Amino acid sequence: MTFVRVCGADELEEDTPKRVEIDGTPISLVRTEGELFAIHDICSHANVSLAEGEVDDCHIECWLHGSRFDLRSGKPDSLPATRPVPVYPVKIEGDDVLVSLTQES
């Protein structure tokens, strides 16, 4: 599995999504509840950035229609979204945040 540096760990604020891109793939990075998550940045219901949404209870909410996605699995738990979005392996090495485009789900 190949990991790519996407930002510095100090660039991530608690419960504030950060949009990054790897080879044209948009990703939202989220630090919440002591964990770090990487989830595909585009809502599966409407073509909008999830990084513009709010984070609560290990979920990210799409700002446009209110669909909530579990940051651990990418699965929606509220309508109107019915399809999951990909989640990606993420890790911190030193001061670097690294993401792999290999999907976890």
pLDDT band at 79 (very low <50, low <70, confident <90, very high): very high
Averaged over 46-74, what is the pLDDT? 96
pLDDT digits (tens, 9 = 90+) for 59-70: 999 999 999 999
pLDDT score of 1: 85
pLDDT score of 104: 61
Averaged over 1-10, what is the pLDDT? 96
Claim: this prediction has a pTM higher than 0.75: yes
Give the bridge partners for 69, in sequence order: 60, 76
The phi-psi region of residue 24 (left if phi > 0; otherwise alpha if psi is between -120 and 50; otherwise beta) is: left
Mean of the per-residue pLDDT values of the chain? 95
